[in-house]
Structure 1
Amino acid sequence: MTAVHRWLRPPEAEPDADVRLFLLHHSGGAATAYRDWPALLPAAVAAQAVQLPGRQDRRGEAPHTRLAPLVRELAAVLAADLDERPYAVFGHSMGALLGYRVTVELARQGLPAPALLAVSGWSPRGFGTGGPRAPDPLDLMARLGSLPAEVGADPRLLGEAVRTLRADGAVCADHTDDGAAVACPVVAYTGRDDPLLAPGALHAWAGRTPDYLGCRTFPGGHFYLHAHTEAVTADLAQLLLRYAGPR
Structure 2
Amino acid sequence: MLNIHSPIAHSIIQISPPRHYASVQPNRGLVCLPHAGGNASFFRAWGMKTPPQLGLYAIQYPGREERMGDKCHTSMAQLMHELVPVFLHQFHYMPYVLLGHSMGAAVAFELCYRLEKINIAPIAIILSSHPPLNKIVPSKFHQKTTLELWQEMVRIGGTHTDIFHQKELMSILTPQLRFDYQLIEQYKPDLSIKLTTQIIVCGGDNDPDIDIECLQGWQSFSSTPIEVLTYSGGHFYLVEHAQTLIEKAEQLLRRNCIPSTRESLP
- Residue 116 in structure 1 maps to residue 124 in structure 2: yes
Name the CA distance, whole Å, in 2 between partners of 1:141 and 1:199. 21
Equivalent residue runs for 1:114-193 within 5 Å:
114-122=122-130, 123-128=132-137, 133-134=140-141, 136-148=148-160, 151-179=163-191, 180-193=193-206
Q: Is the 8 A contact 1:22 1:50 kept in 2?
A: yes
Structure 1 residue 115 displacement after superposition: 0.8
Identity of aligned residues (%): 25
Give 2:7's match in structure 1, choosing from 3, 9, 12.
3
Cross-structure match for 1:61: 70
CA positional deviation for 1:170: 0.6
Amino acid at match of 2:69: G
Q: Deviation at 1:231? A: 2.2
Q: Which residue matches 2:108? A: 99
TM-score, scaled relative to structure 2? 0.83
Q: Distance in 2 between matches of 1:243 and 1:75?
A: 23
Structure number with the bigger relative contact order (C-alpha 8 A, sep ≥ 6) is 1
Q: Supply the distance in 2 between the matched residues of 1:173 and 1:23 (Cα, whole angstroms).
A: 21
Indicate the residue corresponding to 1:228 in structure 2: 241
Aligned length in residues:
244
Partners of 1:113 and 1:183 within 8 A in 2: no
Amino acid at match of 1:173: E
- Quote how far apart the aligned CAs of 1:199 are: 4.9
Equivalent residue letter for 2:186: D
Query: 1:148: how far off?
Result: 4.5
How many Å separate the matches in 2 of 1:167 and 1:8?
Answer: 19
Gap change, CA 1:152 and 1:240, over 3 Å in 2: farther
The question of whether the paired residues in 2 share the 8 Å contact of 1:194 and 1:220 is answered with yes
> What does residue 41 of structure 2 align with?
32
**1:191 alignment partner AA:** G
After superposition, give the CA deviation of every residue in 1:30-81 in whole Å (9 maximum; x if it has no partner).
Answer: 0011012222122232111111101112111121111111122111221122
Whole-angstrom CA distance in 2 between matches of 1:32 and 1:153: 22
Q: Deviations over 1:188-226 (max 9, x none)?
A: 110112123255122122222233341110112111111
Q: Would you identify which runs of 4 or more consecutive aligned residues in structure 1 move more than 4 Å?
A: 11-15, 148-151
SS of the equivalent of 1:28 reads coil
2-side partners of 1:196 and 1:61: how far apart? 32
Question: 2:94 matched to which residue of 1?
Answer: 85
Shift of 1:150: 6.0
- How far apart, in 1, do the equivalents of 2:113 and 2:149 lie? 28
1:217 corresponds to which residue? 230
| Equivalent-residue separation in structure 1 for 2:110 and 2:206 (angstroms) | 26
Q: Structure 2 CA distance, aligned partners of 1:152 and 1:58?
A: 24
Matched-pair contact (CA < 8 Å) for 1:79–1:111: no
Mapped contact 2:140–2:185 kept (Cα < 8 A): no
Q: TM-score, normalised by structure 1?
A: 0.89
Structure 2 alignment gaps of length 5 or more: none
Instruction: Indicate the larger mover: 27-36 or 79-88.
Output: 79-88
Counterpart for residue 218 of structure 2: 205
Alpha carbon RMSD of aligned pairs, Å?
2.3
**Inter-partner Cα distance in structure 2 for 1:211 and 1:38:** 31
Q: CA deviation at 1:133?
A: 4.9
